[in-house]
Amino acid sequence: TAAEKDGYDWFMRKEIFEQPRAIADSLLGRHDDSGKLQLDEIRMSEDELRDVDKIIITACGTAFYAGLVAKYAIEHWTRIPCEVELAHEFRYRDPILTRDTLVVAISQSGETADTLMAIRHAREQRAKVLAICNTNGSTIPRESDAVIYTHAGPEIGVASTKGFMTQLIACYLLGLYLAQVRGTRFGDEIASVVDELAGLPAKVEQVLGQADQIYALAQDLQDARSVLFLGRHAGFPVALEGALKLKELAYIHAEGFAAGELKHGPIALIEEGLPVFCVVPPPGRDLLHDKMISGMQEVRARGARMIVLAEEGDDAVDDYADVIFRLPKASTLLQPVAAVVPLQLFACELATLMGHDVDQPRNLAKSVTVE
Ligand code: G6P
């Protein structure tokens, strides 16, 4: 009913705007003021966590993209090798699992059959399974050794938004907690990342404040038949997620690419007027940002319509952008939290303008309980 939607036209739009709250709830009670993580709730002993020598993240759909972001963060912070695999591919390739493998299953619903079968296989091989899940008491956490619940609240829209957002938060918490328990060389920086996490609700709020500009862009792009998304590093999964949202909701061709891969093929797709979203990494010392800009230069030279998501104050993008959305300052690993928001709003609005049912897109189910 309209009341449940709080005055919004769709649950999805309401859920996008609930994200600052959802992030805060997912952080609540999981760190102290000094930046120390408190995740005893996962019920795995510190010894078990110290013994982990490989992490495999498995999930489907949007949750899989949260896993791709997590890989960048977890490997960097913990130095534990981390793979990410689609749950329906996982067990069929006979993955190498031992009792020191930690399999992390990410699922908003906790009922996705593909993900459930993947963890059953993992446990049969004696791997430890940790679930990241939004639904208390659902099957996946019940069948796991440990669980981190996301506190997004019920997600009604079929396309996941606050579910994804809080999966990112849970993954960051897990990575930092592992680093804390294991005492990696990154240890001194944990407190500053925790501090940055605590500031994310306000940053997401700031991005939500630009909703009207994003809606205006959707109006302009109503006739688009294809849209590309480019990103690098943790921004690459954001590009994939932006494209998935358009497929799910607007039913148009959309693809996400790692910007560095463009020259190896996809650049052949660029033609006059093609909308290309670019998620620009924060300017930093590692040249990622500059390489992104030079890739954008190539795309623009071929006539694409450039929609750029870049950090505030990053004026290096100005010459290569038709439209710019400003992201609050963030570290490269945490930037996805803010960067995904304009892409969610864009897909929601474009589908609305096209007259589609945003909350229940054709052919999709909120939770796929068959393999
Ligand atoms: C379905 C939904 C997607 C979701 C995926 C994984 O396909 O339509 O939005 O990302 O399942 O769902 P889960 O509940 O496991 O996160």
What 8-state DSSP symbol labels residue 149? E
Instruction: Label residues 194-212 b or e (16+ Cβ within 10 Å = b).
Output: bebbeebbebbbbbbeebe
Q: How far apart are CA 341 and CA 93, in angstroms?
A: 35
Residues of the chain short of pLDDT 50, as ranges, are none
Residue 334's pLDDT is what? Answer: 98
pTM assigned to the model: 0.97
Tokens representing residue 89 in the block: 């591919």
Contact predicate 50/181, CB 8 Å: yes
Please work out whether the CB of residue 191 comes within 6 Å of at least one atom of ligand 1.
no
> φ, ψ for residue 223 (rounded to 5)?
-95, 5
State which amino acid sits at residue 262. Answer: L
Q: Alpha carbon of 363 to those of 153, 158, 247, 360: distances in Å?
A: 25, 11, 11, 9
- Per-residue pLDDT tens over the stretch 275-315: 999 999 999 877 999 999 999 999 999 999 999 999 999 99
Residue 179's pLDDT is what? Answer: 96
Contact predicate 331/339, CB 8 Å: no
Residue 163's pLDDT is what? Answer: 98
Give the number of the atom of ligand 1 that is nearest the alpha carbon of residue 109: 14
Q: How far is the CA of 105 from the centre of ligand 1 (A)?
A: 12
- Per-residue pLDDT tens over the stretch 34-55: 999 999 899 899 999 999 999 9
Please work out whether the CB of residue 295 comes within 6 Å of at least one atom of ligand 1.
no
DSSP secondary structure, 49-105, as one string: HHH--EEEEEE-HHHHHHHHHHHHHHHHHH---EEEEEHHHHGGG-----TTEEEEE
- Going by alpha carbons, the residue nearest to atom 11 of ligand 1 is 367
Closest CA to 59 of 160, 145, 178, 180: 160
Answer yes or no: 329 catalytic. Answer: no
Please work out whether the CB of residue 112 comes within 6 Å of at least one atom of ligand 1.
yes
Give the number of the atom of ligand 1 that is nearest the alpha carbon of residue 115: 15
Tokens representing residue 328 in the block: 């609050």
Q: Which residues contact 199 (CB under 8 A, 6 or more apart)?
A: none
Tokens representing residue 308 in the block: 């750029």
Give the number of the atom of ligand 1 that is nearest the alpha carbon of residue 112: 15
Please work out whether the CB of residue 150 comes within 6 Å of at least one atom of ligand 1.
no
Q: How far is the CA of 250 from the centre of ligand 1 (A)?
A: 17
Q: Which residues contact 325 (CB under 8 A, 6 or more apart)?
A: 207, 210, 213, 214, 307, 308, 309, 310, 342
Residue 1's pLDDT is what? Answer: 65
Please work out whether the CB of residue 108 comes within 6 Å of at least one atom of ligand 1.
yes
- Going by alpha carbons, the residue nearest to atom 9 of ligand 1 is 159
